[in-house]
Amino acid sequence: MPQSKTCPPSEDCLNLNVWTPAKRAHEKLPVLFWPTAVASLRVQRP
């Protein structure tokens, strides 16, 4: 996944894009965040 050019990589800059099916704007939908093992391997620790 390419890095964002607007924010350098850090724990203070997390972005999440959510795509939903077409619904009315005022309707709320649940969002499930499922981190994978691959995502945890990309974390850099000092």
CB 31 within 8 A of CB 18: yes
**Res 34: pLDDT:** 75
**Distance set, CA 16 to CA 21, 24, 46 (Å):** 17, 21, 24
Instruction: Indicate the pTM of the whole model.
Output: 0.29
Residue 20 corresponds to which amino acid? T
- Could you read off the pLDDT of 1-46 as tens digits, one per residue? 555 566 666 666 667 777 777 777 778 878 787 766 665 555 555 5
- The total number of residues written for the chain in this structure: 46
Local structure of 6: helix, strand or coil: coil
User: What pLDDT score does 39 carry?
Assistant: 52
The pLDDT value given to residue 9:
62
CA distance 30 to 32: 7
